[in-house]
Amino acid sequence: MPPRAKYTREEITEIALGIVAESGVESLNARSLAEAMGTSTRPIFTAFRNMEELESTVRESAMRVFGEFAERETPDMPAFKQVGVQMITFAKEKPKLFRLLFMKVQDHTFNFEEMFSSMLGVTADKCIEYIMNDYSLSKEDAMTLFRHVWIFTYGIGVLLSSNICLFSENEISDMLSVQFRSMLIMIKSSHAAK
């Protein structure tokens, strides 16, 4: 019977997530992970078939970290705006995890709906619900508003996580509010004109 691995799959994932958060996904390899664990690479390949499986598991773990950010509540702030603010906060505080989740070169191009369902998950579904309930919009209109505001918010996150530009919390809040109100007015006025 082979000896029991010193590390569980969850522990290895957590250590790998730490490496990615600190140095980026390009720094994650069997050697760097084994060094951080203080072992050979054997426990890694006992728990995972290969590094691709490990990286996929790390990505899922990073998405849970992002989900924790997205669920933070800020008093007196609309729910949908809170999610946007927390996405930007995630980009500022965990830039390498933001890049892992939202800036990785893909094997193929997605349309927005495919990206929405495959990358954004439960958080995006909650945003659509907030918009529909808080602003009395149809699902189609809520998706249109979400798409425009998410792309805008994503752009701010890219600027911050790449250390290209710095915005204060007040600037971020004001920019998100203006973008959201502009899109909401545009959507509502297009229905009024019909």
Q: Are 85 and 173 in contact (CB under 8 A)?
A: yes
Share of the chain above pLDDT 90, in %: 61
* pLDDT, position 1: 45
* pLDDT, position 116: 64
Higher pLDDT, 171 or 72: 171
Q: What token pair was written down for 166?
A: 């710095």
- pLDDT tens for each residue of 102-133: 887 766 666 777 666 666 666 778 888 889 99
What's the chain's average pLDDT?
88
* pLDDT, position 73: 82
- Cβ within 8 Å of residue 142, ≥6 positions away: 128, 131, 132, 135
Q: Is 80 exceeded by the pLDDT of residue 99?
A: yes
* pLDDT, position 113: 73
Residue-range domain boundaries for the chain: 9-58, 71-192
* pLDDT, position 107: 66
Q: What token pair was written down for 50?
A: 């290969």
Mean pLDDT is lowest, of 48-57, 66-75, 94-103, 140-149, for 66-75
Higher pLDDT, 50 or 114: 50
Half-sphere exposure of 47 (CA within 13 A, CB side): 23
Q: CA-CA distance, 160 to 169, in Å (whole number)?
A: 12
- Cβ within 8 Å of residue 80, ≥6 positions away: 127, 130, 131, 134, 146, 149, 180
pTM of the model: 0.82
Which CATH number is associated with domain 9-58? 1.10.10.60
